[in-house]
Structure formats: structure tokens, C-alpha cells
Amino acid sequence: MDIFLIDGKRRFFHFPVNPEEISISRSKGYETVNMLQYGEFDFVQGDKVKEISFSSFFPKEYNPSYCQYKNIPAPNIAINKLNELLISDHPMQLMITTTGINVPIYLISFNSSFKGGEPGDISFDLTFRTWRDAKVKQKKTSKNGKTTNKSGSRADLKTSNKSYTVKSGDSLSKIAKLELGDSSKWNDIYKLNTKLIGANPNQIKPGQKLVMPT
């Protein structure tokens, strides 16, 4: 088993000594609501982001009995590399071979210590938190009336103007009454469609597509 941190296509760090165990924490998010006379109710809010943690050490000297490779980094250099990741706002890929773990992560906790009897070695424990991009689901209605969900990075807050196709016998006041509930708003329609209608607001033609006020 090997544990790598990968930045894009570049290998950022290779842990020299494997931990005795790796802990993976998974949980489901929920909200507890207290209703008078009925007590508490839990409402599921989806899976929480999982955490991966382990402890090991950075040896001062290479030892083939427990080191994964020969050119191990000096302990202080290894500490600096992980401190760099700790303060970074850029996620990296954590890959642990033979385990199936290959996920984007942030390093959220990193503690180091020196132990007596092991001069030059630095012990550590750390916790990674898996990263996922935040997406907002938008509702989109198709022509057949069915609603589908569309994922995006942010909600579309733009509003589109409604349109009306002129029919035989229509007038602007009639359209204003039908579509806006007030025949006196015919001038609002005319202002938006002056170029299409022309100088005379009474000369609208069937088939013309008018932009309606919002």
C-alpha cells in the first residue's frame, strides 16, 4: 500500500511510512425539530462529507523494514509540505493504493510531535476532508409540461419577458385586458413594441409577436 497526494498530474507528496490503520468517518446529516405536544422529529438532509484520518511518523533515517522508498524526505521538509497543504485553499487528490481510495480532499487537521527515544523522527496525525463542488439545481420546464432538474454552479436569476401573438380582431386594449387584467395598460404594450407596430397603435396585425410588460 502506498499513500500519495497528487496535485493535478504532479505527485505532490508520497508518505514514507504507512500508518498502522486508516480511519474513514461517514455520517448522514439531519436536522432535529422540536414540535410542541409531539416531541422531536429528525429530518434527513443528505450525506455529510466524509473524513479520512491516520497517524504515522517521518523517520530521520531510511530503514527498509518500514520505509516505502529509499529517498525519503527529511522530517522537517515533510512537515513543511503538509503545512503548505494545510493553509492552501486548493484541493488535492488523495490516492491510497490497494484500497480504492482516490478522492479530492482538503487537509483540515495536522498535528506533529517529538517522542523520546526516537531522535530526529517526527510523529504526526492528520485528518483529510473529502471535497465536492457545490452545485445549485435549477428547475426547467419542457414543452410537454414535465419538470426536469438541471445542475449549475449558480441559479439563473434573469427573468424573460412574456410574449403574445396577435390574433384576428385583437386590439392593444383587448390584449391588455386579457393578459394584464387592465385595458388601460395598452400603452405599456405599445411602448415595448413601437418599432414593430409603427406610428399607429391601432394598426396591429395578426401574427405579430408582441413583447408583454412584466
Average pLDDT of span 1-16 = 88
Q: What pLDDT, on a 0 to 100 scale, did the predictor assign at position 206?
A: 92
Give CA separation, 180 vs 5, 21, 140, 177, in Å.
61, 69, 25, 6
For the segment 74-111, what is each residue's pLDDT rounded down to a tens digit?
Answer: 999 999 989 888 888 888 888 888 888 888 888 888 89
Q: What pLDDT, on a 0 to 100 scale, did the predictor assign at position 101?
A: 83
Alpha-helical segments (H) within the chain = 75-87, 172-180, 186-192, 194-197
Q: What pLDDT, on a 0 to 100 scale, did the predictor assign at position 51?
A: 85
pLDDT at 135 over 70: no
Tell me phi and psi for residue 116, to 5 degrees. Answer: -65, 145
Q: What pLDDT, on a 0 to 100 scale, did the predictor assign at position 161?
A: 64
Give the C-alpha separation, 139 to 53, whole Å. 38
Query: pLDDT higher for 71 or 143?
Result: 71
As a whole number of angstroms, the longest Cα–Cα distance in the chain is 99
Least confident of 55-59, 76-80, 130-134: 130-134
Give the C-alpha separation, 101 to 94, whole Å. 7
Global pTM reads: 0.52
Q: What pLDDT, on a 0 to 100 scale, did the predictor assign at position 77?
A: 92
pLDDT at 118 over 70: yes
The length of the chain in residues reads: 214
CB atoms within 10 A of CB 180: 17
Helices and strands in the chain: count of H runs, count of E runs: 4, 13
